[in-house]
Every structure is written in structure tokens, then in C-alpha cells.
């Protein structure tokens, strides 16, 4: 059951210039406590404005004591809270929230599109750098291969020159050896010529005696 608690003497002016007087109502619930809230009545006709629960007390007297200490500033805030609970206010908030969500969605889509463009650009640049690095690596490998081939060719040429020199030395040695063998043995089947034999002085003397 709803109980009227008190009415305030102040006249409250809303932002739309409507004037209201405030009352406090209370009701008990199953747990034995009392909830108190405000209802604002327009002085020039219109819709009443009620707040949600503003306090919970142990008794109706406690709600009345709480209500007696409410200031004008608190009542003005309660009026704003009550007006915010009106169906049209809720609908306006929902529309505003939907508009904000739409703006947020558009902003997110724009941000994601920009991020995707940046990501694609970075990926393209990374691929370009990778291709350039691969080309540079291939060029360096080609230079190294050419240098190695040139080095091997020079080594092969040096080896061939050394082989030719060794072959020439071998042939020269063989020719000299052949000449020496021919000088020592002479023509085939003949002995080497003997040096002329010189007669001794005794043999010459004997020969002269025979002739005389």
C-alpha cells in the first residue's frame, strides 16, 4: 500500500520552464522495509514525474524523518532523475544511444579501413624490401661465383703451365741421357774406338837396333 508522507513548499522550475511541487510517498515490501520516492506534480497541467526509489528505511516514520531533511538542491536533482525516467526521455536516450552507436560503428569502420590500407601498404613495402634483398643476395652470389670461377681458372692455367714445364724438363732430360748413351756405346754392335797406343821407349830402341 502506498502512503503519502509529506509535500514540500518549494516550487521547482524544470529546464523547460514547467513548474512543479514535490511530494514524498512510501510503501512497504515483503522484507518489512519501507521504500520512499518523489512525485512531482506540474502546476500548469501536464504529466506527473515520479522518481525511482530514493531511500529504504525500517519504518514509515523513518521515511518521514528522511524526507524532512531533503534540501531544494536535492529536490532539483530528483526532478531531473524523474524526468529522465519518462517514456519520451527514455526513447530520446535510446535514439541518442543508437545514433552514438552508429557514429561509433562508422568511426570504427573508418579506422579499420585506414588500418587495413596501412597494413596493405606495409605488406607491399615488406615484400618489396624482401625482393630487393633477394636480388641483392643473388647478385652477390653471382659475383662470388664469378670470382670463384676466375680463381679456379687461374689455378687450372697455373697447373697446366707447371705440367708443360715439367714435361719440357722431362723431355730435355731424356734427350741429354740419350746423347750420353750413344757417345758411350757407339754404333750398335761395335766397341767404342780405342785411343792410339804409344810404344814404350824400350820397344823403340829394339827396333832401331834391328834395322842397323
Give the pTM: 0.45
User: CA angle, corner 68, sides to 82 and 85, nearest 5?
Assistant: 5
What confidence score (pLDDT) does residue 74 get? 97
Q: What angle do CA 72, 68, 37 make, to 5 degrees?
A: 75
Contact (Cβ atoms closer than 8 angstroms) between residue 36 and residue 5? yes
What are the C-alpha distances in Å from 203 to residues 23, 194, 197, 198? 184, 20, 12, 10
* Contact by Cβ (8 Å): 19, 13: yes
Angle value at C-alpha 121, between 117 and 122, nearest 5 degrees? 115
**Of 25, 73, 80, whose CA–CA distance to 49 is shortest?**
80
Partners of 21 in beta bridges? 41
Per-residue pLDDT in tens (0 to 9) along the chain, 212 residues: 899 999 999 999 999 899 999 999 999 987 789 999 999 999 998 889 999 999 999 999 999 999 999 999 999 999 999 999 887 655 555 556 556 666 766 766 676 577 778 878 888 888 888 888 888 888 888 888 888 788 788 878 888 888 888 888 888 888 888 777 777 766 555 555 555 555 555 565 556 655 55
Closest to 86 measured CA to CA, from 167, 163, 188, 18:
18
Phi/psi of residue 36, nearest 5 degrees: -120, 145
Residue 66 pLDDT: 98
Amino acid at each position: 500500500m502506498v502512503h503519502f508522507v509529506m509535500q514540500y513548499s518549494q516550487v521547482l522550475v524544470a529546464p523547460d520552464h514547467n513548474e512543479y511541487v514535490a511530494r514524498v510517498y512510501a510503501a512497504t515490501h515483503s522484507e518489512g522495509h519501507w521504500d520512499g520516492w518523489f512525485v512531482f506534480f506540474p502546476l500548469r497541467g501536464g504529466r506527473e514525474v515520479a522518481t525511482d526509489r530514493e531511500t529504504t528505511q525500517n519504518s514509515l516514520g523513518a521515511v518521514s524523518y528522511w524526507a524532512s531533511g531533503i534540501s531544494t538542491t536535492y529536490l532539483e536533482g530528483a526532478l531531473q532523475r524523474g524526468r529522465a525516467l519518462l517514456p519520451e526521455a527514455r526513447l530520446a536516450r535510446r535514439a541518442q544511444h543508437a545514433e552514438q552507436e552508429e557514429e561509433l560503428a562508422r568511426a570504427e569502420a573508418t579506422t579499420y579501413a585506414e588500418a587495413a590500407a596501412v597494413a596493405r601498404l606495409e605488406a607491399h613495402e615488406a615484400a618489396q624490401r624482401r625482393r630487393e634483398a633477394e636480388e641483392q643476395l643473388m647478385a652477390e652470389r653471382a659475383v662470388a661465383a664469378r670470382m670463384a670461377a676466375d680463381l679456379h681458372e687461374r689455378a687450372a692455367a697455373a697447373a697446366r703451365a707447371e705440367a708443360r714445364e715439367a714435361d719440357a724438363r722431362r723431355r730435355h732430360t731424356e734427350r741429354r741421357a740419350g746423347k750420353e748413351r750413344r757417345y758411350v756405346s757407339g754404333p750398335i754392335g761395335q766397341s767404342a774406338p780405342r785411343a792410339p797406343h804409344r810404344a814404350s821407349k824400350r820397344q823403340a830402341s829394339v827396333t832401331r837396333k834391328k834395322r842397323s
